[in-house]
Structures are given as C-alpha cells and as structure tokens.
Amino acid sequence: MARAHETQIMTEVSEAEIAVHWKEEAHYLPPAKFIGQANLTDPAINQRFSLDRFPECFREYADLLTWDHYWHTTLDTSNAPYWKWFVGGRLNASYNCVDRHLRRHKNKAAFIFVPEPEDESHAAITYQELYVRVNEMAALLKDFAGLRAGDRVTLHLPMTPELPITMLACARLGVIHSVVFGGFSGEACGIRIADSGSRVLITMDGYYRNGKLLDHKPNADIAVATAQKEGQKVDKVLVWRRLRDRPATAAPMVDGRDFVVNDLLKNYAGDHVQPVSMPAEAPLFLMYTSGTTGRPKGCQHSTGGYLAYVAGTSKYIQDIHPTDVYWCFADIGWITGHSYIVYGPLSLAATGVLYEGVPTYPDAGRPWRIAQRHDVNIFHTSPTTIRMLRKAGPDEPKRYHHQFKHMTTVGEPIEPEVWKWYYEVVGKGQAVICDTWWQTENGGFLCSTKPALDSMKPGSAGPAVPGIFPVIYDEEGREIPTGSNKAGNICIRNPWPGIMQTIWGDPERYVKTYYAKYCKNPKSKDWRDWPYFAGDGATQAPDGYFRILGRVDDVINVAGHRLGTKELESACLTVPEVAEAAVVPVVDEVKGRVPEVYVSLKPGIAPSKVIQEKVVHAIETTIGKIARPKEVRIVPDMPKTRSGKIMRRVLAAISNNMDTGDVTTLANPDVVEQIRQMVQGAGRVATKAAPEDIKRFGDER
C-alpha cells in the first residue's frame, strides 16, 4: 500500500459525515438504590473538573495515592506532546496496591481466584497473602534474575493469580513489565520481547481453556527463538506451574535457561523487598497494541499519572468501595485488565474475582453461578461476551440469585438490543450500566456516564468522564458543531494523567500517530495546540452523548480487541504460494467484526484447500488464534486502482453483502464481478445498510 505513515489514513469528510446507524434511544435513570450508596453523587464534580480548572483538577485523583514525596508540578508540557504528570513526585505502585492496605484490610480478599474446572476449589488471596507472595517474587526477580528498576521483562501468562503477583513484583522493583496476552502465539510474544528489549520471559507451563489443559510452554520456546532472530537474547525463562503436583507441559526445560518459579520461590520464603521509590514519570509498564503498520506499538504508561487516573476512574466510574465484590471479566493481558482488574481496583483495596476460563464453560450459566456464589455486585465485560452469553443462554441469568449494582461494557459499540438484555436480564433492571469508551493508549476511561449522576442511553458511550474534553474534527481540522449528530474524527482537547507517555523505542511514531493530524503548531508547548487523535469516528447527539462508530484506520476490532490488517496480511505473505493478500472486516453476530482474507496466488499455482489451510496456520502462528479468519478466499486477482493499489473497500463491501459502488475506474473491473459471484453467489444480493467502519474501510484517502 502506498501509505507513508499512519496520519495520512483518514476518512474523507464526505464519508465521515454520515448519519448514525442506530435510532436514538430513550434515556434510563440510575436506580435510587444505586445513587444512595455511590461514591460520586455531587454534581459539583462538573465544576471541579471544568476546563478552566485543568490540569489542577487531577490533584483529586493523585490524592487517592500514597506518595513518598509529594509532587510539585501537576502537568509539565515543556516537551509537548510528551506529557509529564505530577512531576517531582515519587511513589511505588506495588506499595499503593498492596502494602498500604494491610493496616485496615490485611485479612480481606484482594482476589478470589476461580479456576476454570468447576470441581477445583476457589481460592481467596488476602491482602496479607498478596503482600507475602509479591515480596517473595520480587526477591526472586531481584536476586535470581538480576532485574533492576528500568529493566523490561515480558510476561506471557494466563488468567491466574500468578499474573498480577508477577506484575506487582515487577512494580515493586521499578521493573517495567510488558504483559503479552496469553492467547497470542509464541512468535507474537517473541516480537514483543525483542521490541521491549526483555532478557527475561516469565510464563506458565499450561492453563485451562474451554475444558482443556493447554500446553503453554512450547510458546516460550518459540518466543525465545523469535526474539533471538530479532536480535534479542533471552537469558532466563521463568516458568510458573499451573498444577500443584505435576507439570502441565511435556516440553523439556532448557538447562541453564528455564527455571520453575515454584521451586525457586522456596529460597525466598518470607523475604521482604523494600518497594523502590519511583519518580511519577517512570514507566510502569508497556502494553503492545496494533496500529496500521505491521509492527505493534508498545504503549508506555507512567507510574504516577497512570495509577492516579485508574484509581480515580475506578472510584468514580466503577463505583468501587472496599466492601464491594468486583468482577472484571476481561483478560489481564489487555489494557482493561491492567487498569480495571489490577491497578485501579487494588489501589482502592477492592476484592476482585479472577476467573481463568471462557464465559461459556461448561455452560452459559457459569458466570452467573460465579456471581451468585461470591455475591459479586460490580460486573464488567465486553459486548462480545454479553452477545455470546445471550446467544448461548438468554434465560440463564434468571436462574440465579446474583444481583449487580453496577455493570460495565467496554471495547466495542453495544447494540441497543444487546444493551437491553444486559440491563433487563443480567442486571434484573436494578443495575446501572456504564458503556466505557477508551483505548490501550489512554490508560483509563474517556467517555462514560457518571453512574449516579447521568442517565444511560443504550448504544451511546455517553458524555466524557471528568477532566476529559472531546472534540470532533472533520478532515480539514474544523470542529464539527457540538451536538450536531454529524460524524467526524473524535479527539481529546487536553492531555490527562492516564495518557501513554510515548511509543517504546519510537517516539516519532507517537507524535505522528496521535498528534500530527490536528496539531495547531508543532513548536508549541501549550497543550491546547495538541489535540489527541483517537482514530475513531464518532457523533455527538444534542444531549451531548457520544456514539463511537468504529475505527477510521486499517485496524479491525475483533471481539473488542485490535488487530492491524497489515499484521494479518504480512502473515499471509509468509505462505510461499501467496502473491498478494488483503484483509477486510466482516460483521459477526457475536464478535462484532472478524477478519476475512483474500489472497491471490503466484503464477502457475492452482488454488487448493491446502493453501487455504496454510494461510490460516500462518495467521495462527504469527499472531494467535484470536486472529483466525472467518474465511480465506483465493481470488484470480485483487481489485486494483490504475496505480496498482488494492481496493480493500471493494472487498469489504463484497464480504458484507454490500453494494461495491462504482468500480468502472478500476484497472480490472471484471475481477470485481468474478469475486462477487464467488462470495455472494450468482443471484443479486440485496444491499444491507452497513456500519460506518465497514462502509469506510480501506478507503484510499
């Protein structure tokens, strides 16, 4: 593709200015019972966090933390757009999430671990127990692995307590963790190890997923080999054991490189490690996400700003009190889990449920049984999970006595009818819902209703959260009038404490991707000149509520997680028979969007099932099963412009049963009809109204 860099990939005004695809829904009021107990009921929050109080308003969030040294400058913009929050302050994230709660809460559960097998007992880990385990692991990382503040370490762990324990042990030392989602392939993990420069990989030998004990250790071997190829040597692989009595893997341990953590820990029993007092701007972790180029971006998050932001939003938007039982049903391997399973809730001394497995194992009643058993009162998950549970067991929630006060959705737009099922059946009409819009780059929520103060509107993320000031721009950088229901590119006018600091190892890409597009003056030190470009299309209704329409770049949001089409296409091109590849999003009833792959073959090679399987295999090994395409279609040629660009938009239209529009100016218009017949069949298929991200997908802009 002839695309120099990410900022050029934008939607055209004509296509961004589109009507919303769901009709306006009526507002729902938060239940009185919820309001009666909520953390945030004072409407003066809107004045406290008004734009003229920015950035000092965020002192309120910073004050939720315990600082070793209090900070002197709330926001330093001298090196815009590399923002520095709470400058001069020092703190330790592990101290804030664990140690400081011991005095009042040592005997309270920090986590309740629910293993996937239903006959395995649940385990409550108290704050005291968490403290001991984090200290022992920190001692091991320091003495055995030789890790020091500022070093990076990659974690490729499943959803068991060992994951947050390892993260907090890193944080205790000021070591920067980079957690790679457990479902990513060994190769994907290896690429991230190399990019972050980690010389230690921490993994687990296996874990339960959908009734099976998966062997995870081979992924570590692939990851180390991949990192090596990329020029990064891994000296130590630390392997946690999932099972008490035997290894969960058949893979051998490499002598001198691989070590069983559970065995090593015996040498550190009862050890204490002083939390390292870190500058507020020291990086706490990296979290890789997909962009429009093949290389994943390591979003670098700070210690002070990030922790303050997730603590503040966990308190006000998630409404977490220490007495609540909170269950965020996401994976810690994504940003949602970092912010709203680990750092936010623990900073508030919450009790959180940690569930190992899939929502529907062994049946669609499982989440409600867990909720009933632990009397969970705050529930947080993605529209994909909600759609999956609704499809598999629409009446299941009625069979259980769980009662939530608060429910969150995150990651994708939620269809109003799915929202209503969540509200009426899961929430039994008595819970508030927060539809939270944000991104890996953001650290925490950007848009959501304030649960006790704002009414809810199905299908809308709501207004911005305190201290966030969105604006919608058209392609030329003109502001789209507030509340006009016209679509454009949603941006945030101001920086906030949770915003990433930079892209690890690629500061220029950070500026190009998020700021270059609408920067008013690249030399400016004034934050007002640097709106943050989110990469999503959005509209704002007259009531002020934002509706997120989807990505405006070549990123597909599959089941609430981002996949770059470029990453998938590069994977396809590793198959020797493949000449060209194009990946497009297809609407999926459960996952929102799934990728569909088009490939053309090298001359003289005949299409075959074997080649299709090779393509699927290539995607699964380079990225992971989450990227598995719905379909691999071998086509005689790609539809192309006269200058040779592949018209992904045309392919997306075909895959989604939409009209392809005028294709007569293409270099090879007949191939479009051939592909259409292949995909849609010979009969003319009625044109369906398509969601905006699909309509606009792959536009040559």
Note the residues at the interface with ligand WT7 (CB under 6 A).
289, 335-336, 410-413, 435-440, 461, 534-536, 548, 550-551, 557, 560-562
Instruction: Quote the tokens at residue 479.
Output: 């502001």
- Residue 362: is the preceding peptide bond cis (ω within 30°)? yes
Q: Which is nearer to ligand WT7, 279 or 535 (CB)?
A: 535
Look at residues 663, 651, 689 and name the one whose alpha carbon lies nearest to residue 556.
651
User: What ranges make up the beta strands (E) of 127-171?
Assistant: 152-156
Q: Please report, as a single letter, which amino acid is at residue 50.
A: S
CB of 486 to ligand WT7, least distance (A): 18
User: Least distance from C-beta 82 to ligand WT7, angstroms?
Assistant: 20
Written as one letter, the residue type at 493 is R
Residue among 466 and 592 whose Cβ is closer to ligand WT7: 592
In the complex with ligand WT7, the residue whose CB is nearer, 390 or 562, is: 562
CB of 529 to ligand WT7, least distance (A): 23
Q: At what angle do helices 217-229 and 186-196 cross, to 10 degrees?
A: 50
Residue 141 or 586 having the CB closest to ligand WT7:
586
Which residue lies nearer to ligand WT7 by CB, 366 or 551?
A: 551
Structure-block tokens of residue 545: 């509520």
Cα–Cα distance for residue pair 101/131, rounded to 1 Å: 10
What is the smallest separation between the CB atom of 226 and ligand WT7, expressed in angstroms? 22
Distances (CA, A) of 646 to 580, 583, 672: 9, 10, 12
Which residue's CB is nearer to ligand WT7, number 446 or number 679?
446
CA distance 363 to 191: 36
Q: Which C-beta is closer to ligand WT7: that of 136 or that of 441?
A: 441
The half-sphere exposure of 295 on its side-chain side, counting CA atoms within 13 A, is 15
- Assess contact for 288 and 192: CB atoms under 8 A: yes
Q: How far is the CB of 404 from ligand WT7 (least distance, A)?
A: 18
How far apart are CB 344 and ligand WT7 at their closest, in Å? 12
Instruction: Write out the two tokens for 380.
Output: 């947080």
Q: Which residues contact 119 (CB under 8 A, 6 or more apart)?
A: none
Rg of the chain in Å (alpha carbons):
25
In this complex, which beta carbon is closest to ligand WT7, that of residue 349 or of residue 468?
A: 468
Least Å distance, CB 288 to ligand WT7, is 10
In the complex, the smallest distance separating the C-beta of residue 685 from ligand WT7, rounded to whole angstroms, is 28
Residue type, 291: G
* Separation of alpha carbons 586 and 697, rounded Å: 10
Angle at CA of residue 46, ends 42 and 49, nearest 5°: 115
- Residue 336 carries which side chain, given as an amino acid letter? T
Reference 402, options 373, 380, 431; nearest CA is: 373
Q: How far is CA 420 from the centre of its chain?
A: 24
Q: Least distance (Å) from ligand WT7 to the CB of residue 513?
A: 12
Alpha-carbon distance of 314 to 348, in angstroms, equals 8
Residue entry with tokens 């990989």: 201
From the CB of 437, what's the least distance to ligand WT7, in Å?
4
Among residues 43, 14, 24, which one has the least CA distance to residue 453?
43
Closer residue to ligand WT7, CB minimum distance, 134 or 299? 299
- Amino acid letter, residue 460: S
> Which residues neighbour 247 within 8 Å (Cβ) at sequence distance 6 or greater?
205, 206, 241
Q: How far is the CB of 413 from ligand WT7 (least distance, A)?
A: 4
Question: Shortest distance, CB of residue 383 to ligand WT7, whole angstroms?
Answer: 8
Query: Which residue's CB is nearer to ligand WT7, number 236 or number 338?
Result: 338
Closest distance of CB 92 from ligand WT7, Å: 25
- How far is 314 from 308, CA to CA, in rounded Å? 10
Nearer to ligand WT7 by Cβ, of 402 and 517: the residue is 517
CB closer to ligand WT7, 344 vs 560: 560
The answer to whether residues 653 and 618 touch, using CB atoms and an 8 Å cutoff, is no
Cβ-based nearer residue to ligand WT7, 494 or 557: 557
Task: Rank residues 116 and 412 by Cβ distance to ligand WT7 and give the closer one.
Answer: 412
Dist. CA 381–CA 411, nearest whole Å:
9
Residue 582 gets the label, from left (phi > 0), alpha (psi -120 to 50) or beta, of beta
- For the record, the structure tokens of 246 come out as 């035997």
Q: Is 325 helix (H, G, I), strand (E, B) or coil?
A: strand
Rounded distance, CA 345 to CA 568, Å?
35
Residue that is written with structure tokens 């049903």 in the block? 329
By beta-carbon proximity to ligand WT7, the closer residue of 547 and 633 is 547
Q: How far is the CB of 562 from ligand WT7 (least distance, A)?
A: 4
Q: How far is the CB of 412 from ligand WT7 (least distance, A)?
A: 5
In this structure, what are the phi and psi dihedrals at residue 651, rounded to the nearest 5 degrees? -65, -40
